[in-house]
């Protein structure tokens, strides 16, 4: 049950998506689209009690990555995530589609946090993604 609330919280609250008033029909796809915050920057907030611990103690620091590296990895990871969503694999973890545009300039901070969300899901829930190795965490 924690997994459901965690992922729902990550993608509904962190990407500033408003919930729909009615539940989508089974043929409709719910896509989460990133939006800019009030400062005009892309940002991501994760609502999980272990997120800050993971980011500060387990994840590699942001200085170890370039923005282009993260953008490339995120493009593949989002694609893999969305393929799992369409195949209905890991339904307790992957509940929403991620609408990520690799042509958009999200900035290093957003790219890093998005990348670390995938690493966090692998670390916390054991979801092994093909484009992410365990070497990505300390």
* pLDDT recorded at residue 28: 46
Average pLDDT over residues 111-135: 88
Cβ atoms of 32 and 17 closer than 8 Å: yes
Share of the chain above pLDDT 90, in %: 45
pLDDT digits 0-9 by tens, 72-108: 999 999 999 999 999 999 998 888 888 899 999 999 9
Minimum mean pLDDT among 26-30, 39-43, 114-118: which range? 26-30
pLDDT digits 0-9 by tens, 31-50: 556 777 777 788 777 777 89
- Per-residue b or e along 3-19, where b marks 16 or more CB atoms closer than 10 Å to that residue's CB: beebbeebbbebbbbee
Whole-number mean pLDDT of the chain?
Answer: 79
């Amino acid at each position: 049950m924690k997994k459901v609330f965690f992922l729902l919280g990550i993608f509904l609250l962190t990407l500033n998506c408003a919930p729909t008033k009615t539940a989508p029909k089974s043929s409709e796809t719910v896509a989460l689209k990133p939006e800019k915050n009030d400062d005009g920057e892309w940002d991501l907030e994760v609502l999980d009690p272990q997120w800050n611990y993971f980011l500060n103690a387990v994840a590699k620091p942001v200085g170890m990555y370039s923005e282009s590296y993260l953008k490339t990895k995120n493009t593949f990871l989002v694609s893999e995530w969305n393929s799992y969503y369409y195949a209905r694999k890991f339904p307790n973890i992957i509940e929403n589609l991620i609408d990520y545009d690799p042509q958009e300039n999200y900035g290093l901070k957003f790219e890093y946090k998005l990348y670390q969300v995938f690493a966090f899901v692998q670390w916390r829930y054991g979801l092994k993604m093909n484009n992410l190795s365990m070497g990505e965490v300390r």
